[in-house]
Amino acid sequence: MDGPYPVYASRGETNEVSEGCSSSHVSLDTEERLQLIAEMLNVGPEAIPWRASSSTQIEFASPEQFDRMVLTFIEAQQTLYRTTVAALAARNLMSPLEAQQSLPQLLLIIDHPRGRSTPFPAPPNLPSQVKWVPLL
């Protein structure tokens, strides 16, 4: 790493009181979150193998081939994320339980040349953390 990668966060407090406690939060955008994780792992952001937003084009000859390719894409994205989580857990920056429960929801937005008037069906057996959203 060639130097510090600063991470900026905004912190807000609210006057809402819940059982005698006020709440506060820190908000990071996508790139700030990536920089924070990279800093925690003592690497540059480019060393983190996944991005919050990713896309792919799938060319296929049959519905079965499409289903296989979509599931392969999903697995690859989840594997990249799990690799980072394992590195955080190895540095005791996440507990084993947090690591196990941290896989985020993957939102698949499907756009296809058949036209938006015909929804493209989701492959069977999508993982529970995946939400299928055909553009209409």
- At residue 28, the pLDDT reads 78
This model's pTM is above 0.85: no
Question: Closest Cα to residue 87, out of 38, 45, 129?
Answer: 38
Spatial contact of 127 and 74, defined as CB atoms under 8 Å apart: yes
SS3 (DSSP) at 106: strand
Determine the pLDDT at residue 72: 92
Amino acid 136: pLDDT = 67
Q: What is the pLDDT, as a whole number, of residue 114?
A: 64
Q: Which amino acid is at 27?
A: S
Gap between the Cα atoms of 14 and 23, Å rounded = 6
Q: How far apart are CA 15 and CA 18, in angstroms?
A: 10
∠ CA 116-71-77, nearest 5°, is 100
Q: What is the mean pLDDT of each run of 10 residues along the chain (136 residues)?
A: 47 49 68 86 86 80 87 90 90 89 84 68 87 80
Domain spans of the chain, in order of start:
1-13+23-48, 56-136
